[in-house]
Amino acid sequence: MTLRALLFDLDDTLYGYAPCNEAALTAAYAILRARAPVSPTEFRATHDVVRAELARELHGQAASHNRALFFKRIVERLVGPGEGSLAIELFDTYWSAFLAEMRPAPDAHEVLAKLKGRYELALVSNHTTDIQLRKLRALNFERFFPVVVTSEEAGVEKPDAHIFELALRALGVNADEALMIGDSPAVDLRGACNAGVPCILSRQFSAPELAGDAPETTIASLSELPDWLRRR
């Protein structure tokens, strides 16, 4: 079957998440520290505990990524109840710093411009819609992705096949006419396989251990993708 469409993950596929998150947490802590005598270690430990709690309690829901919930609980535990305004300030500060730190993968604009001329492109991402659209705007990627499907609108998260099926339906292609590009074997590869879509794993911003189904191939950087597609 002719390849007609490419589905992309966003975080750690088209940009590196870690430096953005680090800058954002540092900025949020500075706001919190001005209100309460909280050490950096205590803040990070509480953040990690809250993140794990929400991932467990809201498993499979986009709300598990919602930083408003993160900071609401963090503030309740480190400052006290009735501090919703502070939670909002931390949320806004976090995302302002995160978006300011974002840098696209090297050659990403050039690569996506080439691919858009040959394939239908879609973004398939686990997160809330507002934040992922803001990330696309910050990266200047909006023009490349006429179709954006988030787990918030799908009601499920990768690796559930439904989120991929929504993207395929929006593009008007079948599963065997598409290819997924992502960084996570457990989320992107498994989810694509669940939907019958082959997957390429990118190691540009992470080095995942392969488990279960094998990817179509692995690439060290996004810049390798056009050549691989030409050879397939």
Q: Could you give the strand order of the β-sheet that contains 199-202, starting from the edge strand earlier in sequence?
A: 147-150, 120-125, 5-8, 178-182, 199-202, 217-219
Helix axes 17-33, 67-78, angle to 10 degrees: 30
Q: What single-letter amino acid sits at 149? A: V
Task: Determine contact, residues 141/121, Cβ cutoff 8 Å.
Answer: no
Give strand pairing partners of 219.
Answer: 202
Residue 172 falls in which region: left (phi positive, over 0), alpha (psi -120 to 50) or beta: left
Quote the tokens at residue 86: 């502070």
DSSP 50-64: HHHHHHHHTTTSGGG
Instruction: State the first-to-last Cα distance of the chain, in angstroms, to the nearest integer.
Output: 12
Active site residues: 9, 11
